[in-house]
C-alpha cells in the first residue's frame, strides 16, 4: 500500500514538474514556432499552434539581410573570452578567500557583490569616454574586458563557495610534499573543483551571451554580437514578428545546444556541496 502511494505521489510530482517545465519553456517554444509562420499567421487571432503552413521564408530573409555568422562569431569571442579571462582572474582570488581568509574577507566579498547593484546606465558615459580615449569603441577586446569585470563578482562568489567545500588539509598535504603555490592551485585545487568551475564557466558564458546593455551601447559594426542582431529586427512601425522570431531562434540556438549537452555538468556543479 505504502509503495502504491509513493508511486502515485511520484507520478503527481512528475506531472507537476513537467507542467512547470513546459510553462517555463513555452515562450521559447512559441518563438521557435512563430519563426516558421508567415507574418499573417504569426498575428492570427485566435493564435495557430501547430497546424499551419510551415515556411523557412523568414530564415531566408534574415540570412539575406544580416551577416549572421559575423554576429555569432562576435558573441562567441566576447562571451567566451570574458568568461575565460574571468575564471583565470577569479581562481586565485577565490583560493585566497577560501583558504587564507583574513578579517576583511567577508566584507570584501560583500563589497564585490555590491558593485552589481550599480545601474549600468549610471556608468555608461564614463566608460564610453574611456573607450573613446583608448580608441576601443566597437572593439571585441574592450567588451571582453568590460563583461569580464561585470561578471567577476559572480565568478569569484561561485568559486569561493565551491572551494570552501574542499578540505584544506588536502592542499596542506600537497604543500608538505613540496608543491609550489602555482602547482597547488593548478594541479590539486582545480581538478578537485572541476564540476564547480565548469558550472561557473557555463553560467557566466550564458550571462555574457545574453548581456544586452553594454553590447548594444558599445558596438556598431565590427564587434556587434547576437544581441545587436536581435535588436535590429524589432520594429515599432510594421509587423515583423515572424522575422523577429526567426532572428531570436538563430540567436538562442547555440546557447540552447550548449545548455542541452552540458546540463549534467551544470546541474552537478550547481548542486555541488548542497548535501553534506
36 touches another protein by CB under 8 A: no
Given 72, 124, 255, 258, the residue binding another protein (CB under 8 A): 124
Our CB check for another protein shows the closer of 15 and 56 to be: 56
Given 52, 68, 99, 128, the residue binding another protein (CB under 8 A): 128
Q: CB-hemisphere CA count at 13 Å for 241?
A: 14
Q: Are 113 and 157 in contact (CB under 8 A)?
A: yes
> What's the closest the beta carbon of residue 102 comes to another protein, in angstroms?
26
Given 238, 260, 274, 275, the residue binding another protein (CB under 8 A): 238
Q: How many CB atoms sit inside 10 A of residue 228's CB?
A: 21
For CA atoms 227, 232, 234, 239, give the dihedral sign: negative
88 touches another protein by CB under 8 A: yes
> What's the closest the beta carbon of residue 200 comes to another protein, in angstroms?
13
99 touches another protein by CB under 8 A: no
Q: Are 227 and 147 in contact (CB under 8 A)?
A: no
Q: Are 80 and 72 in contact (CB under 8 A)?
A: no
Range in contact with another protein (rule: CB under 8 A) among 18-26, 112-120, 170-178, 224-232: 224-232
190 touches another protein by CB under 8 A: yes
Given 109, 144, 147, 159, the residue binding another protein (CB under 8 A): 144
Write down the residue that cell numbers 517554444 correspond to. 29
Q: Are 49 and 262 in contact (CB under 8 A)?
A: no
Given 9, 65, 106, 116, the residue binding another protein (CB under 8 A): 65
Whole-Å CA distances, 103 to 106, 159, 168: 7, 19, 18
Q: Distance between CA atoms of 83 and 148, rounded to whole angstroms? A: 6
255 touches another protein by CB under 8 A: no
Our CB check for another protein shows the closer of 100 and 220 to be: 220
256 touches another protein by CB under 8 A: no
> What's the closest the beta carbon of residue 18 comes to another protein, in angstroms?
31
Q: Are 165 and 102 in contact (CB under 8 A)?
A: no
40 touches another protein by CB under 8 A: yes
Q: Residue 23 in 3-state DSSP?
A: helix
Whole-Å CA distances, 223 to 51, 234, 255: 40, 20, 19
Q: Residue 63 in 3-state DSSP?
A: helix
262 touches another protein by CB under 8 A: no
69 touches another protein by CB under 8 A: no
Interface residues toward another protein, by CB under 8 A: 39-40, 43-45, 65, 77, 80-81, 84-85, 87-88, 124-125, 128-129, 131-132, 136-141, 144, 186-187, 190, 216-217, 220-222, 224, 228, 231-240
Amino acid at each position: 500500500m505504502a509503495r502504491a502511494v509513493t508511486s502515485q505521489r511520484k507520478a503527481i510530482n512528475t506531472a507537476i514538474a513537467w507542467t512547470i517545465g513546459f510553462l517555463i519553456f513555452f515562450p521559447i517554444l512559441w518563438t521557435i514556432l512563430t519563426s516558421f509562420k508567415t507574418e499573417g499567421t504569426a498575428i492570427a487571432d485566435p493564435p495557430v499552434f501547430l497546424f499551419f503552413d510551415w515556411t523557412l521564408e523568414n530564415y531566408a530573409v534574415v540570412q539575406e539581410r544580416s551577416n549572421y555568422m559575423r554576429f555569432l562569431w562576435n558573441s562567441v569571442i566576447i562571451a567566451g573570452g570574458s568568461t575565460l579571462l574571468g575564471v583565470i582572474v577569479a581562481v586565485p582570488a577565490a583560493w585566497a578567500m577560501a583558504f587564507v581568509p583574513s578579517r576583511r574577507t567577508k566584507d570584501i566579498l560583500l563589497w564585490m557583490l555590491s558593485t552589481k547593484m550599480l545601474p549600468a546606465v549610471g556608468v555608461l558615459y564614463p566608460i564610453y569616454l574611456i573607450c573613446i580615449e583608448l580608441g576601443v569603441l566597437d572593439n571585441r577586446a574592450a567588451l571582453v574586458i568590460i563583461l569580464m569585470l561585470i561578471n567577476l563578482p559572480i565568478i569569484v562568489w561561485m568559486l569561493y563557495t565551491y572551494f570552501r567545500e574542499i578540505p584544506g588539509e588536502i592542499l596542506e598535504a600537497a604543500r608538505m610534499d613540496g608543491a609550489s603555490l602555482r602547482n597547488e592551485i593548478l594541479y590539486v585545487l582545480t581538478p578537485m573543483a572541476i564540476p564547480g568551475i565548469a558550472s561557473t564557466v557555463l553560467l557566466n558564458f550564458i550571462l555574457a551571451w545574453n548581456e544586452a546593455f553594454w553590447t548594444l551601447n558599445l558596438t556598431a559594426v565590427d564587434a556587434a554580437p547576437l544581441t545587436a542582431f536581435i535588436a535590429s529586427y524589432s520594429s515599432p512601425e510594421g509587423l515583423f514578428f515572424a522575422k523577429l522570431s526567426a532572428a531570436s531562434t538563430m540567436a538562442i540556438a547555440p546557447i540552447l545546444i550548449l545548455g542541452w549537452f552540458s546540463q549534467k555538468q551544470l546541474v552537478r556543479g550547481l548542486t555541488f556541496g548542497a548535501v553534506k
